[in-house]
Every structure is written in structure tokens, then in C-alpha cells.
Structure 1
């Protein structure tokens, strides 16, 4: 009997090993060489504050040359001076461009061409430019839907379009899109915002399939609520339902988010997630997204069902919040 058990155990181990080997040989797992940021040219849009500025600082600390892009020239110059304090050698440069990346593609292309003439070809582009609007679908002016789609989506399309051809010629590069956890799951009050962040995923997946043969890696990041100036401003007018739902997750610091984004981007990982909630959401929403390791595949296979059950608990909680707010609002209206 012990011999039979040992044989059975050995057979099980052999089957698992064979299965893992098959996955390794058959599945399109990407194993790119990590990108060194020392001397690299990194372009960061939305770089005057928040996650964008923190990404620029993190890259500058690793020896990169930075092209910093933002609309507000005053804040841009302030950020430039702050970033320059983190230089690791005398050769590093922070080149700033006051530009709205969501308008006039020809101008975006021209200014990025000038930046490349100054600091060399772009090795990594980090698309951080974005804005948020919170409100019920019928209360949000229609022009705000257009504005968010322009800034959050086209504001990533235009810079990417301006640098991708040169990256393909050089057969190297990194392109990062900063989405949001609201780009993985729709949340009450974010009908305008979530749609634009979901759009980035479609762009990232399609583009990754195009550029992968050219040794270019695309990363899409899904940060949670992050303590940025934009988040603080939005919180002052956030509707009650969204506020209560948002309280179910913690608020991250931009420096932490930036470190994870840069680390995953230089390693060539497709998805960049943050914390326990982000890890669960990544597995739940993987779908047919590219994978970076066998470990990611096994995680999905093992935990997808469990996390789906957990997600139903959270959804029920969110629905309960919405119902309670509706009941309280109706009571208040009757009293008035």
C-alpha cells in the first residue's frame, strides 16, 4: 500500500510538471530583457503633479533623462525644479513642455520630435495625463463625456502615436498607460470616467499584439484611489454613494504607485496592479490579456473561482449602499 501511494504521488507530480512544461512551451508568455533607465529618455505626460510627477522622480533617481509634459506651465516648472533635486549624475536633464496632449496631434508630434532631437529617441513613454468627473449619469453634462474621452483616451493615443514608429525602427521601448481600478470595475458615479479608463485597456491589448514582435512592451497600470491634487479636489464634491463605496479600499501614496509602475514597466509586465484589492481585480479581469509568467497563469486558474465569489460579496455591499442612500434621499425629500 505505501508503495502504491508513493507511485500515485509521483505520478501526480509528473503530471503537474508536464502540465507546467506544456504551458511554458505553448502559451505566449513574454520574457523581455529588463530596460535599464540609466541614460534612457523617459517621457511622462501629466507630469506636473500626482502620479506623473512621482513617476518622473522615480525614473530620474535611476539615471534617466526626462521629458516632462503638462498643461499648466507654472506647475510644470515647479515640478521640473523639484525633480532636478533627485539627479544621480551631472549629465541628467529634465526637459519640460507645456502642452495639452489631447489636442492637435500635429503639434504633439512636432514637440515630441523636438524632445527627441534634444534628448535622443524615447525609450519609455508613461501616459499619466488624466482628469476625473464624479456624478450621476444624467447629471453630468454631455460635454464632460467628450472632455474626459479627449484627455484620458486621446491624451494617451496622441503621444503614443508620436513615438511608436521610432520605437519599432529601433526594436525597443516601453509604453505605459495609466488606467485606474475604475477601468476594471464600473463604480457608481464614474460612468463618464470609467468608460475612458476601460478604453485604455482595449488600446493597450491591441497595441501590445502589434508591437511585441518589435521588442516593445506595453504596460497598463490600474492604480486605486491615490492621494493626488486631483483626488483631493474631486473628494470635496464626490457624491455620497461613490464616497461610501470608495471607503472600502485604502488610499495609496503617489510615490508607492510610481515605484510599482516603473518596476513593472522596465520588466516588461503587461499589467501593473497595487495591493491586495488590485491583485484580486487583476486576476478577476485578466480575460485574454497577455501574461508575463507561468505564475500569473497558475494564480488565475487557482484563485479565479474563489475571487469571483468574494467579488459577489463586494457587489452586494455596493448595491446595499446605493439602496440605503436612495431610501434616505427619498425620506429627506418627503420631509422637506
Structure 2
């Protein structure tokens, strides 16, 4: 394999998820050869209709990751434990496997970051150098994950890029607050549940825009520090209701009645959480809906000159269509815009 060919090969861990899948598709569209690791049967391996090569393996198995990464200049680490569960057991072993594979290949690790790393002392405006003193168990794990990634990158032999963004939404976003709490996929939108406290701003990110931003950073990886961290502005909902109003506008424009806006029933989640592990995990992160937390994208703008940004109503319409809430439409991603 030539050097040029190697620089156009990427491994995606978590390609069946929202951000991993979106990155895999956008990398392929940009001319990259894309390999995706999955835990399915041997029969399900092979190239799909979009030209992505699926190989059987597990992100928790170091040998599987090392083999899948052979010849790759980029490893997208977009894999997470399902349903917010078992983070303490699974998150750090997976990043260790990715780091080992990246070192072996001299690759760049591309990581979708979170705001879990930060505690209230860093709110309300987060910058890349804001102190990381989280109050939650998940936050502490994410801090350690990034510490290991930074240590490995700064030691040489590999690079790492982290991009933080708001809560994901999009036509193929998978599990998200949009699909799990705000609206019901596959049904006309009659009501929108708003998880945030009234009057408190919240940050969202349209998944195709996130993937396009990560791809743009990847193209500049040679000029970036060995460990580079960036933040997106995405879509800012200043009062916690603008997202709901945008859904109302889209539904009305498509001929439907404006859905009602109502508060998300946190009381019910608290009531049932002793019996459902996933709900207990969601409650731990409720503070992110009760406090204003916003990310400064100044460094991203200096680096790229712009942030890919799809207008809110257009992004909402593509998302509702993609999850079957508008006249039974199939998944249809709107193009990301610069």
C-alpha cells in the first residue's frame, strides 16, 4: 500500500451509531476507504451499498482493533457503552485498545467529545482550556479517557483530535434526546417534551454538521498540535423553547397542527429509575438541562475559518423526516452547509 493510499484509509469504531455512522458515510463520500468494526456474524461482513467495508470484531478486543486498523491513517473512536450503562467497565479499555492500534499505525484518533468532563465551576461558557473538575462518575471517566489519549499523542507516534458539540440531533442520530424524549419516532408530532428548565439555554448540534466539521479538522491534522481539542457552537436554544418552536414551525409548514410544548416528566423518570438502570444514568446527567452550558467555538473558527452550519428549521425538517414523523418519509439527510 502506497503512502498516499494509506492516508486515505480510515477505521470507524461505532459505525452503527449516530456520529460514527455519519462520519463513515461522509468519509466515504470524500474519497476515503472506510473500514467499520462490528460485532455481527461473519456473514454480515463485507462491503455495503455505500462502499463501507464491514469487518467482524469487538472494540473491547485489542487484537480485533489492531487487525482492523492495519493500514489506516485515521481511527474514529465513536464507540460508547449502550444505554449509558457500564461506563466504569467498558469506556477505558476501549480507548486503550484504540490508542494501541493508533500507535502501531502512526494514526490520528478522531474523538467526539462531551461536556461531561466539566463541572459547574466551568459553567456557563466553556473553552478548550476550561478546568475539568466534573462532579459525576461519567465525567471523571471521560476526563481520564482524554488524559490517556493526550498522554499518548504527546509522547509521539500518533495524533488525536477531540471535537465537543451539543446534544446531537439528525435524521440518523440514533439514540438521542430528540428521539428518546422530545418526540416519538414513527408518529406524527402531536406534542414536544422539553427536558430543560424554562428560560435556561441549551446547546444542540446537527449531526451532519458535526461530521463535516470533524472531516474538515481531519484534513488539517498535519498542522495541528499532536493533541488538539475544539468546540462547536452548533444551535443555541436561548430559552429552552426555541427548539420546540422550530418543530412547531416545520410541522405547520408541512400541513399539520402545531404540536403542544410541554415539560419533560422528570418526576416520572425519578419514580421509575430505581427499577431501570438506563433511567438512573439519565438522571445523573440532568444537571446539564438545569444549568446554562455553552461552548465557545472561537478556536474552531480561527482554525477552519468557518463552522459548517445548517439552518435550524432545515435541520429540524430533515430530522423529523428521517425518523418518520412527517408523512411517513424515509430517512433523508439534508446536505450540510458551510
TM-score normalised by the chain length of structure 1: 0.52
Say whether residues 1:51 and 2:3 are aligned partners.
no
Partner in structure 2 of residue 126 of structure 1: 76
Q: Which structure has the bigger radius of gyration?
A: 1
Partner in structure 1 of residue 195 of structure 2: 243
How many Å separate the matches in 1 of 2:145 and 2:16? 21
Say whether residues 1:108 and 2:64 are aligned partners.
yes
**Larger helix percent:** 1
Gaps (5+ residues) in structure 1?
A: 1-34, 85-93, 135-143, 168-172, 285-290, 297-336
Q: Would you say the 8 A contact 2:80–2:91 is kept in 1?
A: yes
Q: Would you say the 8 A contact 2:164–2:231 is kept in 1?
A: yes
Say whether residues 1:281 and 2:226 are aligned partners.
no
Q: Residues 115 and 250 of structure 1: is their aligned pair in 2 closer, same or farther, counting only changes over 3 Å?
A: closer
Q: 2:149 aligns with which of 178, 184, 204?
A: 204
Q: Secondary structure at the match of 1:48?
A: coil
Q: Secondary structure at the match of 2:202?
A: coil
Q: Residues 224 and 78 of structure 1: is their aligned pair in 2 closer, same or farther, counting only changes over 3 Å?
A: farther
How many Å separate the matches in 2 of 1:114 and 1:261? 21
Q: Superposed, which structure 2 residues align to 1:37-76 within 5 Å?
A: 40-72=8-40
Partner in structure 2 of residue 314 of structure 1: none
Per-residue deviation, 1:221: 1.9
Q: 1:175 aligns with which of 87, 109, 132?
A: 109
Partner in structure 2 of residue 163 of structure 1: 102
Q: Would you say the 8 A contact 1:183–1:222 is kept in 2?
A: no
Deviations 1:109-155 (A, max 9, x none): 5xx32662xxxx11111100013656xxxxxxxxx4xx213433321
**Larger strand percent:** 2
How many Å separate the matches in 2 of 1:36 and 1:196? 36
Q: Secondary structure at the match of 1:252?
A: strand
Q: Residues 80 and 158 of structure 1: is their aligned pair in 2 closer, same or farther, counting only changes over 3 Å?
A: same
Q: Would you say the 8 A contact 2:36–2:54 is kept in 1?
A: yes
Count of residue pairs brought into register by the alignment: 213
Question: RMSD value over aligned CA atoms?
Answer: 4.2
Per-residue deviation, 1:164: 1.1
Q: Secondary structure at the match of 1:129?
A: coil
How many Å separate the matches in 2 of 1:82 and 1:156? 29
Q: 1:96 aligns with which of 43, 54, 66?
A: 54
